């Protein structure tokens, strides 16, 4: 069947404009976007940032450690005892509060750090160091010094308690002697200062300890005593090893006890010998120096009574050897004060007691 073409059909008009084809929108992809070049950090800049962060961490670490020591020491002092509700529980709660405060401080520091970094990258390490310096100053001055001492007692246990007890015996003896008597000893010692200092340097001992021994033994008046003591340090019987060491340091063939230099070198050698024998225990070394090697020496006495340290051997000794280390250290303390201050301080006046305790006793780790 033939189909008839309709001439009026607009699709057959040759002059009709062609319809515009709609183009589909091209999907945009980030892949076609040119890649931005990453800015590489220079090695010097990385080192600088690492240094600043390290300083910041160091400052915060020092602040945290000192603050924990002081606060725990303060809590130990306030809640000392063995009762659960009045001592143990409050101390445990105090530790918990300390942890919460530390957590809050870290959050606050993190927020503050962002604000400071927006202004200068030097502000955070500077502020952390200032915190450390401020905390260090507070711990070593005023009442927080006592809190730090309480912390050492808390951690040190029996050993620290014994050390603190003996240290206060030394301070009390220094106070009892008084500046007048101690100044007299210092004046007499000037004549023998070169010999004693050389002996201390030769054997690596604290020169103030040698001053203390000489003051206790002879009051810096060399003489021969009725009990056999001779010279400046009242030498009697000494271990042969000490004699050999003194001869070697003096480069001499014989020891002349009337010679203050020889006397001082032999005393330093003997004290060093006993300090090594007593494994660094200063009190036992001084006690052994005073007792000497006769009848087996101090070790024999300690084994006989089952004593292990100066605290436990003290009750078994007579007055003179028992107090000997205390007297030596009180004189040594006076010489240390004289060297640092140029004068002797009255222990009971003002804040002198706390200052002297912070400075510490020669040979003992009692200072801050």
**DSSP character string of 88-150:** IHHHHHHHHHHHHHHHHHHHHHHHHHHHHHTT-TTHHHHHHHHHHHHHHHHHTSTHHHHHHHH
pLDDT band at 170 (very low <50, low <70, confident <90, very high): very high
Helix (H, G, I), strand (E, B) or coil at 32: helix
Q: Is 147 in contact with 70 (CB distance < 8 Å)?
A: yes
Whether 35 has a pLDDT exceeding 80, the answer reads no
Residues 6+ apart with CB under 8 A from 187: none
Fold entry, domain 158-359: Lysozyme (1.10.530)
pLDDT, position 36 = 53
Residue located via tokens 């009697």 = 236
Q: What is the CA radius of gyration of the chain?
A: 39
Q: What predicted TM-score, i.e. pTM, was given to this entire model?
A: 0.65
Whether 75 has a pLDDT exceeding 50, the answer reads yes
Whether 307 has a pLDDT exceeding 90, the answer reads no
pLDDT, position 3 = 52
Whether 79 has a pLDDT exceeding 90, the answer reads no
Q: Report the range of poorest mean pLDDT among 13-22, 48-57, 159-168, 246-255.
A: 13-22
pLDDT band at 368 (very low <50, low <70, confident <90, very high): very low
pLDDT tens sequence across 172-194: 999 999 999 999 999 999 999 99
Mean pLDDT, rounded, for 331-357: 91
Q: What count of other Cβ atoms lies within 10 Å of the Cβ of residue 274?
A: 24
Residues of the chain with CATH 1.10.530.10: 158-359
Whether 367 has a pLDDT exceeding 80, the answer reads no
Which runs of E-coded beta strand occur in the chain? 223-224, 230-231
pLDDT, position 196 = 96
C-alpha to C-alpha distances, 254 to 23, 34, 234, 257, nearest whole angstrom:
117, 93, 17, 9
C-alpha to C-alpha distances, 198 to 145, 209, 288, 342, nearest whole angstrom:
35, 13, 23, 21
Q: Is 355 in contact with 345 (CB distance < 8 Å)?
A: yes
Distance from C-alpha of 331 to C-alpha of 264, rounded to nearest angstrom: 17
pLDDT tens sequence across 13-25: 556 655 656 566 5
């Amino acid at each position: 069947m033939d189909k008839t073409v309709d001439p009026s059909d607009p699709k057959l008009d040759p002059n009709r404009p062609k319809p515009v084809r709609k183009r589909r929108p091209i999907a945009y992809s980030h892949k076609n976007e040119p890649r931005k070049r990453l800015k590489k950090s220079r090695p010097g800049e990385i080192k600088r940032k690492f240094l600043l962060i390290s300083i910041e961490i160091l400052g915060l670490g020092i602040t945290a450690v000192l603050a924990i020591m002081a606060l725990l020491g303060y809590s130990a002092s306030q809640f000392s005892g063995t009762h659960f509700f009045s001592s143990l529980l409050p101390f445990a709660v105090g530790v918990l509060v300390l942890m919460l405060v530390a957590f809050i401080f870290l959050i606050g520091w993190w927020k503050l750090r962002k604000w400071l970094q927006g202004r200068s990258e030097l502000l955070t390490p500077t502020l952390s160091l200032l915190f450390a310096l401020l905390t260090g100053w507070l711990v070593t001055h005023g009442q927080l010094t006592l809190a730090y001492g309480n912390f050492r007692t808390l951690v040190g246990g029996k050993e620290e308690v014994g050390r603190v007890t003996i240290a206060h015996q030394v301070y009390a003896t220094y106070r009892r002697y008084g500046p007048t008597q101690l100044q007299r000893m210092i004046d007499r010692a000037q004549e023998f200062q070169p010999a004693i200092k050389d002996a201390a340097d030769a054997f690596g001992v604290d020169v103030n300890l040698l001053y203390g021994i000489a003051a206790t033994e002879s009051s810096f008046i060399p003489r021969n005593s009725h009990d056999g003591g001779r010279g400046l340090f009242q030498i009697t019987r000494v271990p042969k090893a000490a004699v050999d060491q003194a001869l070697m340091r003096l480069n001499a063939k014989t020891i002349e006890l009337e010679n203050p230099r020889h006397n001082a070198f032999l005393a330093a050698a003997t004290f060093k010998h006993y300090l090594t024998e007593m494994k660094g225990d200063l009190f036992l070394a001084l006690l052994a120096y005073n007792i000497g090697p006769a009848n087996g020496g101090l070790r024999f006495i300690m084994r006989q009574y089952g004593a292990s340290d100066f605290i436990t051997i003290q009750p078994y000794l007579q007055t003179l050897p028992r107090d000997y280390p205390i007297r030596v250290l009180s004189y040594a303390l006076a010489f240390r004060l004289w060297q640092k201050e140029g004068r002797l301080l009255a222990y009971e006046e003002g804040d002198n007691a706390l200052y002297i305790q912070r400075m510490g006793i020669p040979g003992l780790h009692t200072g801050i």
